[in-house]
Amino acid sequence: MALNLPFGPVTLSADTSRDFGPHTIAAGETLAVLLLQRDITGGLNSVPSASVDLTFSYTPDGGTTWLLLASAGIPGGVISIADRGGGSHTLVQSTVGVGLQLVQGLPVKATVTLHGGPVAVRGTFTVS
């Protein structure tokens, strides 16, 4: 069964984390994505001194131990990317994704960990 779990907006205090899930990976589910909306009021684009870690973990023992599956460190502040034509585009989302073939039948959770802050977060945890 696929998962589409929206969250927020919620303000995380400095140096805290928030878990989303867990979701047990069913046969046929091959990808998990954690998307964070950067441009909301009080969000990551407006707090350059903050950063977040977006992580996926799985448990082989029913939740006693959580093992890292994938992670990405995301800086705060406005991030602009130049296109080939010389134009500039501001990132409004940050994402991390991971393949799930090796964790079929196991619970997986997504975690947003804030460093610095506070920062408002909104996004989705999806499994397909």
Percentage, residues of the chain above pLDDT 90:
97
Q: Is the pLDDT of residue 8 over 70?
A: yes
Domain extents for the chain? 3-127
DSSP per-residue codes, 12-60: EPTT-EEEEEEEEPPTT--EEEEEEESSSTTSGGG-TT-EEEEEEEE-S
CATH class of this structure's domain 3-127: mainly beta
Q: Is the pLDDT of residue 1 over 90?
A: no
Q: Which helix (H) or strand (E) holds 75?
A: strand 67-75
pTM of the model: 0.90
Q: Name which of 44, 48, 27, 24 is nearest 35 in CA terms.
A: 44
Reported as a single tens digit per residue, the pLDDT across 29-76 is 999 999 999 999 999 999 999 999 999 999 999 999 999 999 999 999
